[in-house]
Amino acid sequence: MSRLRDIVFADTHQYTGFVDERFADLAAQFSRFQYGRLASGGAALAVYFQDRQVVNIHTGKKSATDNWQENTLSICYSTGKGILATLAHILVSEGLLDYDVPVAHYWPEFARNGKQAITLRHILSHQSGLYDIRNMIENAVEMSDWPHMLQVMEGAVPRFEPGEDIAYQALSFGWLVGGVMEKATGKTLAALMQNWLVEPLALDGAYFGVPTDQLSRVAVPFSGLKKATATTQRSGQKKKLSMADRLIEITGQNPQDFVDAMVPKGMKNFSFFSNEGLQAVIPAANGAFTADSLARVYTLLANRGNWNDRQMIHPDVFSALSRVQTLRRDRVMPIPMHWRLGYHRVITLGKHVQQGFGHIGYNGSAAWCDPQRQLSFAYTHNFNIGSITGDYRLWGLTQEALRCADAILNGRKGWF
């Protein structure tokens, strides 16, 4: 009840930054949602509509001693998958990659252990069978070693034939997609990011592996964000099922698939917020972004691959990347995700976003676009959430962003 009271009686102007008056209700809601917890963190929100920035605001604290700033970077976990996928689509548009050519064509060592038929399409749509990080490595600290993890991917054994099933590649996605991009181009992932996204879109902060001179910009959880597992257990103890586990069991899924995809062995030895964790290249999990950088990338997608009259993603490629690959539930996620090529559906509190897509991160950050409305959205924070599908703040902000856009487009906000 106190949480609801905090929201109802919150200061609706507790933020710094720019707000187009047509999106004032969204900024007010952002303030309400953060107000009651400003002593324990901060957040940022960026929105673009019809090619124009309409919201770029932040509030709260970056750390126990520093306030959130406009250039504050946030570790966004799986939200970074959408950025990595966008880079891959640009390379497909440039003719450097193909969705349906076997990955082994670019990366011959990848063909080992029955992987010769796996394509980039299989990986981007989570149909490769290569999701079982728990049995790929012996200790989570191995994730900090990029060359080693590419070798791990080369030796990995798929859990099913490509295209036979769907299983969210929670951690392996980054090494698989990043690895094939490096092998196909002969360039490092950092160089590819700089050349094809950071410079063309003038991003103010977008890293897979934070440079030493940028570490001070990163927002940190005050008490340490919970490890990405609610299912680890001591030897001999009976596992207590989480709500996600119960939902998976009710619908006939196996909770072990969730653990295998999400929880490497030895997570107690690794922190995403240590200097080692921040500087490691773990693209599926430790991307560091400002909210505005995320929103700019999704503005490119909201405009169907066009940025400032430059067609960075060809129309046929955009059509492919935004097409739903399957409506089936996968083995890992507790709700249907409607996977595209590197993105999933937009989760709202009622609004329909038929053409929209994006990606949520474990901490409840998210970025998405809706080409039909020409709308893009990004929300970052450092609060202790730990949710693979976000929480009411993300869903509420998403809903209100869509309602504000509809008020402009249709003359009424509506709820559905």
Q: Which superfamily does CATH assign the domain made up of 68-230+239-381 to?
A: DD-peptidase/beta-lactamase superfamily (3.40.710.10)
Global pTM?
0.93
Structure confidence at residue 390 as a pLDDT band (50, 70, 90): confident
Structure confidence at residue 233 (pLDDT): 37
Q: What is the 3-state secondary structure (H, E, C) of the chain?
A: CHHHHHHHCCCCCCCEEEECHHHHHHHHHHHHHHHCCHHHCEEEEEEEECCEEEEEEEEEECCCCCECCCCCEEECCCHHHHHHHHHHHHHHHCCCCCCCCEHHHHCHHHHCCCCCCCEHHHHHCCCCCCCCHHHCCCCHHHHHCHHHHHHHHHHCCCCCCCCCCCCCCCCHHHHHHHHHHHHHHCCCHHHHHHHHHHHHHCCCCEECCCCHHHHHHECCCCCCCCCCCCCCCCCCCCCCCCHHHHHHHHCCCCHHHHHHHHCCCCHHHCCCCCHHHHHCCCCCCCCEECHHHHHHHHHHHHCCCEECCEECCCHHHHHHHCCCCCCCCCCCCCCCCCCCCCCECCCCCCCCCCCCEEEECCECCEEEEECCCCEEEEEEECCCCCECCCCHHHHHHHHHHHHHHHHHHHCCCCCC
Q: What's the rounded mean pLDDT across residues 200-228?
A: 86
Pairwise CA distance, residues 246 & 252, whole Å:
10
Interatomic CA distance for residues 81 and 359, integer angstroms:
7
pLDDT at 225: 40
What spatial distance separates the first Cα and last Cα of the chain, rounded to whole Å? 27
Domain boundaries in the chain? 68-230+239-381
1 CB-contact burial (10 Å; exposed 0-12 / middle 13-18 / buried 19+): exposed
Residue pair 396/29 in contact by the 8 Å Cβ criterion: yes
Query: What Cα–Cα distance (Å) separates residue 101 from each residue in 107, 117, 151, 184?
Result: 11, 9, 21, 11
Residue 352 confidence (pLDDT) above 90: yes
Segment 29-70, tens digit of pLDDT: 999 999 988 989 999 999 999 999 999 999 999 999 999 999
CA distance 367 to 58: 16
Percent of the chain with pLDDT over 70: 91
Q: pLDDT by residue (tens digit) across 93-122? A: 999 999 999 999 999 999 999 999 999 999
Residues 342 and 88: beta-carbon distance below 8 Å = yes
Residue 228 pLDDT: 36
Q: For residue range 73-83, what is the model confidence (pLDDT) as tens digits?
A: 999 999 999 99
Contact call for residues 281 and 211 (beta carbons, < 8 A): no
What confidence score (pLDDT) does residue 386 get? Answer: 76
Residues 6+ apart with CB under 8 A from 245: 230, 231, 255, 258
pLDDT in tens, 147-178: 999 999 999 999 999 999 999 999 999 999 99
Average pLDDT of the segment spanning 292-314: 98
